[in-house]
Structure 1
């Protein structure tokens, strides 16, 4: 869940590393560091456990030799080893001949560390990544850096995206396995990064490393796969530019990305809309018919999966289940099932592992992701992009909405193509989808007027309960997740009918209960149950609610517009508590470790 960047340029490397690391900070912000070659041929290593601004200060105060155009950088989300300057990347070998930045986890690090220590290597950190430095150090004694990296990784188990800087020669060798890494050659120089957003200012096209690839970063890349020389893969045109990931006057990315939701939904429908009611969207994927549906995801993506499962059951009579990706190994594949693997980044380690589990077996897999060049997209049988655009805030906002809309479009098309839904009915649902951008914008305007007045009375509360029924339940779950992520208060979601089976014990005088009102006639009685016990009820939904935002409560994807006030509630409360809404503590956006 870390971010790495490497560059070979004509200008000082720090000019590029500063920008790239700032744009990679969403991947981890426990510490940040760089290793840069100086004009005298030495290597300067600067690290800090503070944010990228602290690294900027270190660079501004630098009084040593001038930096040249060669460097690597890293922003960390800690997995092994406490957060400390000593544990921050880049790491180096015993002889200080190489520097290494790494994203991923070395599963057999303990055994490798013990073996290397017996051979005389001195470890200075508790980080698993450091074993890579010493393994490569041993192999370098035989000569070539590229071969040394290849030989060293042969004994490693786990996942990695890494950049190795050889101090004496200035060579940079890259490798990837189960973690994202891309390379690009531009008029400004040669670059590698975990995310195209980091280098988007300078890049027109890029190439993605596949699992097992090792690359020498030069203008004429030497590219190997599992030890064999191969031609570089086809280049991908970059559609992102640096301006896409700027704040554009917003106070934070979360506010910007909430406001971008109507435009993102409109873009999806422009891309997919014509293929929904005809079945062409589904038919174009070339997949076999299915009798059952299984959604795989984690966190927000699993909530989106539950929305899609509800739609498949309600409209098509398709049995559907949602499987927590991290627990997929305990499931058994159903006959005739189709799997929807849902991941914002397309690099979520638990989802990638789930694709190899007994829950999937030999079933076809469709990836729903915001990155159609990701590992998930490459491994799936088909992929449908969410088209959300860059999302920098760690807590997902527009990617959740886009997953729901994209998945709904896909399933509506599939139901038409398999004769479970008529074309006229599907056309009506497409019309409903096309109304969503305006409805989302209206919901944001209403919520911004109403929600802030509620927050002052909630700041002292230690916990919150979210309830809903039927199609509203996944949205209540998403609202609880957002509040937990951003405010650091516990928030639990319950099916309203389950209150009397235990959760009512949590209700006391003033307990905040957020109710997603979506027209279920039984919900009023459940709301009355908590009110009778002194709860403070905040209803979101239909006219008459505290936050009235829902116009169409019969849509098969449920009360999607309720998502917006739930996001605004979490953000507003978090800001009032003094928290960073873009970078909540202990979290990172691209969860590339299990």
Structure 2
């Protein structure tokens, strides 16, 4: 994996490919490349293990003409980060080029067979075997050859194949996202519509099993037969959302966008949540318990929502790490809330196999309603965060917490667990979130530079929280790890004396989401007694006075101090800046994790 683009355009395609690839940089990648069909039926390929900018420089020094091509940003899963392992991959004749996202789980057996049949497989990656399989079946036409090739695969794939001789593009999808879109200047394929958003108004999403051929016309196949194209979907992404404007990096912009995102979520979901109409319109059955399912930041958001369900309505909840769901026992009458920013998280989709086997209803809480998760769920809650370019999630976390919280209110009111008057009061409380978030960001921007300067050379950080605030501390620790590459552990504050206190020595930074309780104060006293550097996020007088009471805006006790996360985002970013890290593209990370 990680990012696919392809195009058949009226003008030179290389600029289109590199511009689209730059919009996919947020997904994380180790190498990048393009292949373009030439008029004589050959391919020109350019690849690099540097950034898209380096590829642009290489193309400027050694230009490539042509109007049809494919491009890819690769996040290494098989094989080292080398130009030889970078996409696109070519067949033995140099006629075909392929880009692929996903994992081919039977690649080793296929590679051995191809070599026995005389193919030269030049790379270590699973993707290359597919282009050789297409090569073997090419006499039947490119679309049929791709169909014959994918019939031999196990695993997941979104792939685009370019035939340099005919100038045809063929794409196929199974368990990995791909969209097709037409605009005034051409036809485009991409793993994310954001890559091509400036050039189109509508797009179509490939379903599993679809094969689409882009030539002089665009044709669709499914199951070896001609098929109707999937429905058109409106592209709502604006060019402004894809630009970092005057910000130093996208993460800064996306931190600042959180008050607006919070207001947008509440405008969309608040009213139908407070009276239960959202629940009644969902078609979902009553439930006895709730399981939240996710990975990373999305799991942290799910845990925050689970905390709300338990605190306000006594609903039994369970948090399930999607990558560890093999032994998950899905109890009867469980409602599953599946959290995934992209809706393409492979671990979450695989865990749904277990859920579907038990017949539990699934609600998708995602920023991509048309994603694989959205299509598989019984009901979809769109997070309305807009495009998020920084790899480390910020505004999508806030959007998921608020969207999931609106669902929790709606479900509890709709099933009679809460009175409508209570639902109205809770949504009214949430109306303060945009101001709370804005206040937290403002306070952090003033206080964090000094704190970060004093702690950026530390070897690692501890994060503490109590109750529902623990899930927020978890997210703060994750942000610091992702951006700074320092270790960061998050613990319930009461557990400090049961082991983690051994990590505290003079100068150890300990970030605490401070609820003001005597129990938290006792934990912080233990840290100070051992010389630890307490960075408490709380009210007036705190090291980071970012919580509601600071500016006279009442906090929201029942959902916990969500606004503390913004302060921790700012802290993580500033520590990373001081350590010289790439803020928008942390090492070894990908935003849309389409492999297990």
**TM-score, normalised to structure 2's length?**
0.97
- Give runs of aligned pairs for residues 59-458 of structure 1, distance below 5 A: 59-62=59-62, 67-140=65-138, 142-218=139-215, 220-357=217-354, 361-458=358-455
Structure 1 residues 487 and 323, CA, compared in 2 at 3 Å: closer, same or farther? same
What secondary structure sits across from 2:204 in the alignment?
strand
What secondary structure sits across from 1:403 in the alignment?
helix
**2-structure distance, mates of 1:86, 1:277:** 56
Question: 1:256 offset after TM fit, Å?
Answer: 0.2
Is the Cα contact below 8 Å between 1:221 and 1:232 reproduced in 2? no
Deviations 1:234-253 (A, max 9, x none): 10011013332111111100
Aligned to 1:10: 10
**1-structure distance, mates of 2:8, 2:240:** 23
Question: 1:15 offset after TM fit, Å?
Answer: 2.0
Structure 1 residues 40 and 168, CA, compared in 2 at 3 Å: closer, same or farther? closer
**1-structure distance, mates of 2:217, 2:286:** 45
Matching residue within 581, 584, 590 for 1:588: 590
**1-structure distance, mates of 2:142, 2:354:** 36
When structure 1 is superposed on structure 2, of 112-121 and 221-230 the one drifting more is: 221-230
Is the Cα contact below 8 Å between 1:340 and 1:367 reproduced in 2? yes
Question: 1:386 offset after TM fit, Å?
Answer: 0.2
Aligned to 1:19: 19
What secondary structure sits across from 1:67 in the alignment?
coil
Deviations 1:168-191 (A, max 9, x none): 101100000111100011111111
What secondary structure sits across from 1:456 in the alignment?
helix
Aligned to 2:28: 28
When structure 1 is superposed on structure 2, of 156-165 and 422-431 the one drifting more is: 422-431
Question: 1:39 offset after TM fit, Å?
Answer: 4.4
Aligned to 2:530: 533
**1-structure distance, mates of 2:140, 2:273:** 57
Deviations 1:141-163 (A, max 9, x none): x3211111001111100111110
**1-structure distance, mates of 2:156, 2:143:** 18
**2-structure distance, mates of 1:469, 1:124:** 54
What secondary structure sits across from 1:444 in the alignment?
helix
Is the Cα contact below 8 Å between 1:330 and 1:358 reproduced in 2? no
**1-structure distance, mates of 2:215, 2:120:** 31
**1-structure distance, mates of 2:299, 2:51:** 30
Structure 1 residues 219 and 249, CA, compared in 2 at 3 Å: closer, same or farther? farther
What secondary structure sits across from 1:465 in the alignment?
strand
Deviations 1:555-587 (A, max 9, x none): 322110001110000000101111011000001
When structure 1 is superposed on structure 2, of 360-369 and 150-159 the one drifting more is: 360-369
When structure 1 is superposed on structure 2, of 401-410 and 539-548 the one drifting more is: 539-548
Where does the alignment leave 5 or more consecutive residues of structure 2 unmatched? 549-553
**2-structure distance, mates of 1:187, 1:219:** 14
Is the Cα contact below 8 Å between 1:329 and 1:359 reproduced in 2? no
What secondary structure sits across from 2:71 in the alignment?
strand
Deviations 1:289-314 (A, max 9, x none): 01100000000011011101111111
Is the Cα contact below 8 Å between 1:252 and 1:582 reproduced in 2? yes
Question: 1:94 offset after TM fit, Å?
Answer: 1.0
What secondary structure sits across from 1:432 in the alignment?
helix
What secondary structure sits across from 2:67 in the alignment?
strand
What secondary structure sits across from 2:513 in the alignment?
strand
When structure 1 is superposed on structure 2, of 548-557 and 500-509 the one drifting more is: 548-557
**1-structure distance, mates of 2:356, 2:228:** 35
Question: 1:62 offset after TM fit, Å?
Answer: 1.7
What secondary structure sits across from 1:481 in the alignment?
helix
**1-structure distance, mates of 2:356, 2:163:** 43
Matching residue within 555, 572, 575 for 2:574: 572
Question: 1:360 offset after TM fit, Å?
Answer: 7.0
Is the Cα contact below 8 Å between 2:251 and 2:584 reproduced in 1? yes
Structure 1 residues 41 and 112, CA, compared in 2 at 3 Å: closer, same or farther? closer
What secondary structure sits across from 1:526 in the alignment?
helix
**1-structure distance, mates of 2:276, 2:92:** 61
When structure 1 is superposed on structure 2, of 343-352 and 265-274 the one drifting more is: 265-274
What secondary structure sits across from 1:276 in the alignment?
helix
Where does the alignment leave 5 or more consecutive residues of structure 1 unmatched? none
What secondary structure sits across from 1:514 in the alignment?
strand
What secondary structure sits across from 1:522 in the alignment?
helix
**2-structure distance, mates of 1:517, 1:62:** 57
What secondary structure sits across from 2:358 in the alignment?
coil
Deviations 1:265-288 (A, max 9, x none): 111111112111110111111100
**2-structure distance, mates of 1:493, 1:397:** 18
Deviations 1:211-231 (A, max 9, x none): 111110246422122323210
Structure 1 residues 485 and 260, CA, compared in 2 at 3 Å: closer, same or farther? same
Aligned to 2:565: 563
**1-structure distance, mates of 2:288, 2:488:** 36
**2-structure distance, mates of 1:521, 1:139:** 72
Deviations 1:381-430 (A, max 9, x none): 11000000000000000000000000000110111111111112221111
Is the Cα contact below 8 Å between 1:330 and 1:359 reproduced in 2? no
**2-structure distance, mates of 1:149, 1:38:** 21
Question: 1:199 offset after TM fit, Å?
Answer: 0.3
- Give runs of aligned pairs for residues 486-525 of structure 1, distance below 5 A: 486-525=483-522
